[in-house]
Structure 1
Amino acid sequence: MTKSRINKILTYFIATVWIANGLFCKVLDLVPRHEQIIARILGGGFSRPLTILIGLSEIIIAVWILSGYKKKFIAITQIVVVATMNTLEFILVPDLLLWGKFNSLFALIFIIIVYYNAFYQKQFK
């Protein structure tokens, strides 16, 4: 398999993760735990609208990834967002995470995939 093919597969995988979390888990509220996390961290009064806004932001990230525009910048943005989000969740709401504090391992793996795809793979057109 060529590097550009691997890059394309990883790019689609990364975008799918953002769409799944943004659209299905947050906007469509198929995983209520996400809103509970937001309610506990940011307060319950506006947790549903905030959950939808965060979900829409994640969908925008997915579209941006698929567009190929400023690939390295969006990769850095993703890394910062995932690291920040998971650090906050690890400290503030580990009981609401799917795998508890073990979620951090999956976040780290995702960060490594994003970094590898943006900085070590031949980019496809």
Structure 2
Amino acid sequence: MNNRTRYTIFTWFITAVWLANGLFCKVLHLVPRHQQIVARILGEAYAAPLTIAIGVAETGMAIWIISGWLQRLNVITQIVVIATMNLLEFLLVPDLLLWGRLNALFAFLFILLIWFNGFILYPKNIQSA
């Protein structure tokens, strides 16, 4: 498998993660735990609309990834958002996370994948054969 193929596969995988967490888990409320996390961190009063807003933003991230527009800024934004969200969850609501504090490991691995895909495999870095 060549690097262009890896890049494409990883890009679709990363997009799928954002789409699943944004649209399915938060906007469509298929995983109520996400709203519970928002409620605990930001307050119960606005948890439902804030969860939907976060889900819409995550769905927007998926669209941005696929668009390829300002790709490196997108990679940096993804890394900052994932690191921030997971640090807050690690510190404030570890009991609500799917794997508890171990979620931080999966977040770190996801950040590494995003970095590798966006800065190493990015097609402009791949030499033509």
TM-score band w.r.t. shorter chain:
over 0.9
Cross-structure match for 2:31: 31
The amino acid across from 2:105 in the alignment is L
Q: Deviations over 1:2-57 (max 9, x none)?
A: 10110000000000000000011000001000000000000000100000000000
1:91: which partner in 2?
91
Asked if residue 46 in structure 1 is aligned to residue 39 in structure 2, the reply is: no
SS of alignment partner, residue 121 of structure 2: coil
Structure 1 unaligned runs (5+)? none
Residues 80 and 122 of structure 1, relative CA distance in 2, 3 Å threshold: closer
1:76 aligns with 2:73: no
- Which digits, 9 at most, give the CA deviation of each residue in 1:52-102, with x for residues without a partner? 000000000000000011111000000000000000000000000000000
Q: Which runs of 4+ in 1 moved over 4 A?
A: none
Q: Give me the CA root mean square deviation.
A: 0.8
Indicate the SS of the match to 1:118.
Answer: helix
What SS does the aligned partner of 2:44 have?
A: coil
Shift of 1:123: 1.7
Structure 2: which 5+ residue stretches go unaligned? 125-129
SS, match of residue 75 in structure 1 = helix
Instruction: In structure 1, give the amino acid aligned to 2:86.
Output: N
Partner of 1:65: 65
Which residue in the other structure is 1:9 paired with?
9
Q: Secondary structure at the match of 2:30?
A: coil
Query: SS in structure 1 opposite 2:45?
Result: coil
Percent identical pairs in the alignment equals 56
Q: CA deviation at 1:122?
A: 3.8
- Give the TM-score normalised by structure 2: 0.94
Number of corresponding residues: 124
**Residue type of the partner of 2:43?**
G
- The CA distance in 2 between the partners of 1:2 and 1:10, in whole Å, is 12
TM-score by length of 1: 0.97
